[in-house]
Structures are given as C-alpha cells and as structure tokens.
C-alpha cells in the first residue's frame, strides 16, 4: 500500500516536471525577460534624444503660429479678418 502510493506520487511529480520542462522550452520566459530588459534600457538611453526632438518640433510650430498671428495682426487693421491682403497671404 505504501509502496503504491509512493510510486503514484513519484509518477505525478515526474509528469509535472516533464510538463514544466516542455513549457519552459516552448515559452522560454528567461529570453522574453532578457529582451524586455534590453528594450527598456534602449528606451531609457534614448529618452534625452526623443525629448530634444519633441522640443524642436514644439518650438518650430510655436514659431509658425506666431508668424501667422503676426501676419493676421498686420493685415487686420485692428478689426479681425478685415483687410484685402489677408486672404492673399493665407
């Protein structure tokens, strides 16, 4: 009786280990963790460059907006959308 129970437990443990080994071969969690860590490090190292590019774009669009507002203000003669040159320059 004790021997049969022990054999049953050993069989279940060996089947569990076989399933675990096959899962690790199929999914390979260590490799996925390593790749995610590498991607995180790459993102961390390129944050400064991405920030500078975003600031450049923001400054460029702000400059374009100021330029457009200045053109509108010059041609409106203090009445919004009044002036012959506004539609031509737009």
Q: For all residues of the chain together, what is the average pLDDT?
A: 86
Dihedral sign computed on CA atoms, order 47, 50, 55, 58: negative
Is residue 66 assigned to a domain? no
How many domains does the chain divide into?
1
Instruction: List C-alpha distances in Å: 39 to 8, 19, 35, 47.
Output: 45, 30, 6, 12
Range of the domain at 38: 1-45
Residue 81: inside a domain: no
The answer to whether 83 touches 76, Cβ cutoff 8 Å, is: yes
Q: Is this structure's pTM higher than 0.95?
A: no
Lowest mean pLDDT among 13-22, 27-36, 57-66: 27-36
Residue 2 included in any domain: yes
Average pLDDT over residues 56-69: 94
Could you tell me if residue 3 is inside a domain?
yes
């Amino acid at each position: 009786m004790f021997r049969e129970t022990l054999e049953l437990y050993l069989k279940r443990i060996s089947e569990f280990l076989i399933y675990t080994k096959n899962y690790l071969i199929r999914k390979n969690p260590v490799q996925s963790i390593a790749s995610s860590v590498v991607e995180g490090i790459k993102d961390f190292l390129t944050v400064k460059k991405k920030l500078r590019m975003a600031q450049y774009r923001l400054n460029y669009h702000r400059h374009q907006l100021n330029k457009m507002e200045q053109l509108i203000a010059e041609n409106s003669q203090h009445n919004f959308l009044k002036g012959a040159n506004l539609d031509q320059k737009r």
